[in-house]
Amino acid sequence: MPKGYWITFYRSVSNPAALTAYAKLAGPAITAGGGRFLVRGTAAKAYEAGLNERSVVIEFDSVEKAIATYESPEYQTAKKLLEGSVERDVRMLEGA
């Protein structure tokens, strides 16, 4: 079964304190769902239409586990802390 990947690109962060509070709840919710953080931070170099904002790549044993973790009550509680504080693009992808 192919691995699943949860990829988040932050377009803007207007309230860094909200992002910090979110991370305190989201990290444990994601690892409890089987997620392994592969990348967290800003780009070393951005090309084409890439933004030099925060990006996160999380690996799961399957795309179904990634989706279930995102939709879990624990993660949704963390996600609410970001409302009005960040603009981001979240994608779930199946590994090759």
pLDDT by position in tens, the chain (length 96): 899 999 999 999 999 999 999 999 999 999 999 999 999 999 999 999 888 889 999 999 999 999 999 999 999 999 999 999 999 999 999 998
**pLDDT given at position 48:** 93
Bridge partners, 1 (sequence order):
none
Cβ(85)–Cβ(14) below 8 Å: yes
**pLDDT given at position 86:** 96
Return the SS3 of 73.
Answer: helix
**Gap between the Cα atoms of 5 and 69, Å rounded:** 11
**pLDDT given at position 3:** 98
**pLDDT given at position 27:** 97
What CATH number belongs to 4-94?
3.30.70.100
Amino acid at the residue 12: S
**Gap between the Cα atoms of 43 and 53, Å rounded:** 7
**pLDDT given at position 64:** 97
Amino acid at the residue 31: T
